[in-house]
Amino acid sequence: MTDTAMVRLLISDNAMSPLFTEEELQAFLSLNEGSIALAAAQACEALARTYAKENEQIGDYKVDRSTAVESLLSLAKRYRESEYNRPAFAIAEDNVSTFAELEIIRNYILRTESTVPPDGI
């Protein structure tokens, strides 16, 4: 399953009559550095903005999409929270021997090597 298909699944977009094109979904993914949850949140917010403008009244018949807008914004908020609150994993380095100490120093140098400006700048 492609990333755009996963975003389409999260926002309940029907592939037979899509709300977004593949290019639009790919743009959401690109803007959010490939995060499927954040792309889905942004797509929900875009739909909410579209639906907020589409309240119509024809005679006695009124189309009120405020409930749909609230639902989409709530869904977008949940997708953002799931992305931001996703557990992270890191490896702690223990200094239990001379070899481990040298490896910690080496790893520190490798991590910070690219952030040190060259001399003369």
Spatial separation of the C-alpha atoms in residues 40 and 45, rounded to whole Å: 9
DSSP 117: P
For the chain, percent of residues with pLDDT exceeding 70: 90
Highest mean pLDDT among 17-21, 49-53, 61-65, 117-121: 17-21
Alpha helices in the chain (DSSP H): 3-10, 22-31, 36-52, 66-84, 98-112
- Residue 67 corresponds to which amino acid? T
Closest residue by Cα to residue 95 from 105, 81, 87: 105
Distances (CA, A) of 3 to 27, 45, 118: 11, 18, 40
Q: What is the pLDDT of residues 82-96, one digit of tens each?
A: 998 887 766 677 888
User: Taking 60 as the threshold, does the pLDDT of residue 116 lie above it?
Assistant: no
User: Taking 80 as the threshold, does the pLDDT of residue 63 lie above it?
Assistant: no
DSSP strand pairing (61-63 vs 56-58): antiparallel
- Read off the pLDDT band of 14 (50, 70, 90): confident
pTM score: 0.66
Spatial separation of the C-alpha atoms in residues 82 and 87, rounded to whole Å: 9
Read off the pLDDT of each residue in 66-74 and give the average, rounded to a whole number: 90
